[in-house]
Amino acid sequence: MLQHLSLALCVVVVVVAKPPYQNEIPNGDKVPHPCDTNLVWNAVGHGNADIGGAQNLNPFGMAFQAASHTWTQALCQMDSDNDGFTNGQELGDPQCTWRAGTVPVWPPTGHPGIDESTYPCSHAFIG
């Protein structure tokens, strides 16, 4: 019984960790966590790495929502987190030419909704 419960919980975690909009932005499934680049920030438009929700939007998530959840030229050129890098630069689309359904030319270099220079990392962070 306990094994079935553990398996069910694992399935729920995997489902929550795959936001529906990852394929609508370049490298949406590869955005590095600002505290550990070996980890991926699955819920790119949210303040928590793996959990979405309308009340948990980060600046990029708000801009993406305002763009009708579409990767546009304006969204690409915007610097949602005010860190000096455009959303396109951070997501691996510096020329703003990526289109949904295609493979990005460049890897992501940062997080478009989090200014990595001011993000509070510690050894005990929860992603």
Residue ranges of domains in the chain: 21-115
pLDDT per residue as tens digits for the range 38-65: 999 999 999 999 888 888 999 999 999 9
**For residues 10-22, b (16+ Cβ closer than 10 Å) or e, as one string?**
eeeeeeebebebb
Phi/psi of residue 15, nearest 5 degrees: -65, -45
pLDDT per residue as tens digits for the range 76-118: 999 999 999 999 999 999 999 999 999 999 999 999 999 999 9
126: pLDDT strictly greater than 80: no
- In this structure, which amino acid lies at residue 72? T
